Chain A
């Protein structure tokens, strides 16, 4: 199937470029041609009925409802929802407990930058000649495949007092560095952000590596003739070539940082100053029955994610916009 000739793709692309309804219904001699025209015209709608139905029911309706709930005082159960204007939004931005979640997000945003730097470094060195390349690649990527709950438990075990990290520090004479890694509010967010880095670096790394490996090798050869060293190659060939993927990893990193849930939920349940946006929203909506306020939080989060996506598209124009 991979050998589908480029002429076919070209033809398909040409067809795709035709505007809607521009293509006349072609009469094919025999069976299908004798079917009534309305049946033919109905076919795509029948195929799209369920997909579009689910899309509207499970994505668009919730988004619209969420905006509506966010300007009411609804508790999730009451039959009536009272309109209260922007009160919920005022509370989101004035209650110090709500504002704190923005501050906690910063730890994960910094974490995602560290993660991108590490991924870029390892993707670059593994794109050149290295022994046991597949083994390194596999080890670095594997954490991404592990269940988030399992990762939380693995690191609770590793970071608990007297656990793996403390033992390492003790035996290397660094016992002065030992902390209550998840219990001390001054340290807990650093620990949790570091666990997130451990979890997601592999995915970013594999994305970068794939992009670097698809760079035409002739470019390197030409650069080598010009006397470029590895450092020059990185700055003038690799980085510019993979810019779209770096941009993508950046939005995924920021939106992921804003919506972290599993790691802090499993490891501290938001205690010791580690409450994140999603933990707080879930707690408000499902424990405290403040659906209106929780919706306002969720709307703010959604708008942040959309803003970041929009900024990224503005700053890094995508070369391969591909809709159909």
Chain B
């Protein structure tokens, strides 16, 4: 009897938590299919009259520039991720495979940097980006995303240790130089680490708002998060259009989550504990 009660409590709390999680999302989905008239006159729990009313979605793409925003996000992501991979793998290769003067200083520099939260220093970072003439450019974001990501470097350093040194040594005996070893042996063997970094960094860049808000001003360069924020201004009274825009930004992340669940969980737990 006691275990039955315990079992029921367990499921009751899970159901309550799930409702609390899904309800706000469900209402956004309902709202996104309503007409303006309908949105104002019906209660939020009433399903839309026409589930095929895609007018709000069309508006989000034509007026909200969501297609351009996805393109900008993709551009920033691709450039930043390539940079991050080379920086992370290069750092890991140098630190794990070589013993050199200053190695421990380098380790301490990276370790201390993990303690400095990026949000706190933007007041001063802004001056540097501005001094480089990058204010308003997507390059500012690319540079910041690849240059301040210590977590990715840690993931690469950790993983590098599991690649047997005998592989490098065999290649060296065959006459390969360090660059060739790096590109032909280290990088291909780092694939699982690269996959982890691509997933967690991809989600991070897709969701980042603070940096694009500070550094980008031209509407044509805005990535998804700031484009969504900018859309709220002129369409503040058309909540059904905002709902559609929100749904559009959630769909890609939902699909990614459904297909790559296991990798996403692993990525975030390993990323967070480094």
Contact = CB atoms under 8 A, between A and B. Distances in A.
A203 B268 contact: yes
Contact of A302 (B121, B176, B250): B121
A305 B242 CA distance: 36
A12 interface: yes
Given A55-B110, A142-B21, A62 B125 contact: yes
Interface stretch (A23-31, A174-182, A232-240): A23-31
B210 A66 contact: no
Contact of B229 (A136, A145, A266): A266
A153 B232 contact: yes
Interface string A276-317: 001001100110000100110010011001100100000000
Nearest to A132: B14
Interface string A139-177: 111111111111001110110001110010000000000
- 10 pairs of A and B residues whose beta carbons are closest in the complex: A31-B175, A54-B147, A62-B124, A44-B98, A47-B94, A44-B94, A66-B124, A158-B24, A62-B125, A65-B124
Contact of B148 (A59, A142, A158, A262): A59
Contacts of A305: 115, 117, 120
Interface in B173-189: 173-178, 182, 189
A223 interface: no
A58 B128 contact: yes
A125 B14 contact: yes
A225 interface: no
Contacts of A41: 100
A11 B165 contact: yes
B155 interface: no
Interface residues of chain B: helix, strand, loop or mixed (majority)? helix
Contact of B27 (A18, A60, A158, A286): A158
A51 interface: yes
Nearest to B160: A12
A4 B165 CA distance: 11
Interface string A18-57: 1011110000111110010000110111011011101111
A198 B176 CA distance: 53
A62 B268 CA distance: 28
Nearest to B9: A125
B123 A69 contact: yes
A1 B121 contact: no
B162 A1 contact: yes
A58 B149 CA distance: 10
Nearest to B93: A47
Contacts of A28: 169, 172-173
A57 B146 CA distance: 12
10 contacts: A20-B102, A20-B103, A30-B173, A32-B175, A40-B178, A52-B106, A54-B87, A57-B147, A118-B17, A259-B119
A95 B208 CA distance: 31
A136 B18 CA distance: 7
Nearest to B99: A23
Interface residues of B, number: 109
A55 B147 contact: yes
A185 interface: no
Interface residues of chain A: helix, strand, loop or mixed (majority)? helix
A138 interface: yes
B95 A324 contact: yes
B164 A21 contact: no
Interface string B84-99: 0011001101111111
A164 B45 contact: yes
Contact of A163 (B14, B44, B126): B44
Nearest to A248: B273
Interface of A: 1-2, 4, 8-9, 11-13, 15-16, 18, 20-23, 28-32, 35, 40-41, 43-45, 47-48, 50-52, 54-63, 65-66, 69, 76, 118, 121-122, 125, 130-131, 134, 136-150, 153-155, 157-158, 162-164, 167, 198, 203, 206-207, 210, 230, 245, 248, 252, 255, 259, 261-262, 266, 278, 281-282, 285-286, 291, 294-295, 298, 301-302, 305-306, 309, 322-324
Given A1-B189, A54-B87, A301-B120, 14 more contacts: A4-B164, A15-B165, A20-B101, A43-B98, A55-B113, A62-B122, A122-B13, A147-B249, A147-B253, A148-B225, A203-B268, A230-B6, A285-B126, A322-B158
B24 A150 contact: no
B54 interface: no
Given A51-B87, A141-B265, A164 B23 contact: yes
Interface in B55-75: none
A22 B128 contact: no
A145 B175 CA distance: 46
Given A55-B147, A139-B18, A146-B250, A324 B174 contact: no
Interface in B32-70: 43-45
Contacts of A206: 265, 268-269
A143 B21 contact: yes
A131 B11 CA distance: 9
Contact of B113 (A16, A30, A59): A59
B28 A157 contact: yes
A193 B126 CA distance: 28
A118 B13 CA distance: 10
Given A248-B273, A259-B120, A324 B127 contact: no
Contact of B99 (A12, A21, A118): A21
